[in-house]
Structure 1
Amino acid sequence: MSTTLKAKFDTRREAEMTVERLVQEQGIERTDIFITTDGADNSVGDEKAGSDTEGKDPTPESRDDAALEGKIVVSVDIADDARAAEVKAAFKEFDASDIQG
């Protein structure tokens, strides 16, 4: 029986790190992982992180146009319910909120 697990992340970086953990260490296929926004607008999350933050010298002038329009949602389809705990652990490792499934 297939199960879908979902979680929300404050930053795009946290969502991306979670996906890499699931793919590289848990062997989940990328085609079973979906990333979207928590709403209709384009968003990089609620907080700046990674390339959305100011860099060290020498860099171009800092930008202030990150699309902070809502959380990032990661959902994972798994066929084996026993793997749910592993997926939820990865969500928690990268500070997910509102974990469902």
Structure 2
Amino acid sequence: MADDSTTTIRATFRTREAADLAVEHLVQQHGISRPDIFIQSATDRNTAGSEPSGGDASHEQGARRDAPLEGEIEVSADIASGRIDAVQRSLGDAGAIRVSSR
């Protein structure tokens, strides 16, 4: 009998750029529908990450200050339990600093 149970996987990133890359990995490599992937602050504060990246880092006067860098970003999705290892590797490749599942 096939195991069709699901597990919620969560990964934490320092930059929005890394979180966005993780979403692309989940969609393109693992076939997870984009509406089934959630991105949010890992804390109770609004944040664009804990480090400048992408457009935040390339502003003419240095790092932009209009997007708060006040914490990490969490990406989560429900996945088939049998795919945990592969998804964890993809999230790590995208720059996750922590990955957990439950």
Report the TM-score, using the length of structure 2 for normalisation.
Answer: 0.84
Extract structure 1 runs of 4+ deviating beyond 2 A: 60-66
Cα displacement string for residues 76-99 of structure 1 (whole angstroms, at most 9, x for unaligned residues) = 101x21111121011100221221
- % identical aligned pairs: 40
Matching residue within 26, 37, 45 for 2:41: 37
Q: Which residue of 1 aligns with 2:86?
A: 86
Question: Could you list the runs of 5+ residues in structure 2 that have no partner in the other structure?
Answer: none
Residue 61 of structure 1 and its aligned partner are, at CA, apart by 4.9
Q: 2:7 aligns with which of 3, 6, 11?
A: 3
TM-score, length of structure 1 as denominator length: 0.85
How many residue pairs match? The answer is: 96
- Aligned residue for 2:23? 19
Shift of 1:64: 2.8
Read off the aligned partner of 1:72 and give its amino acid letter. Answer: I
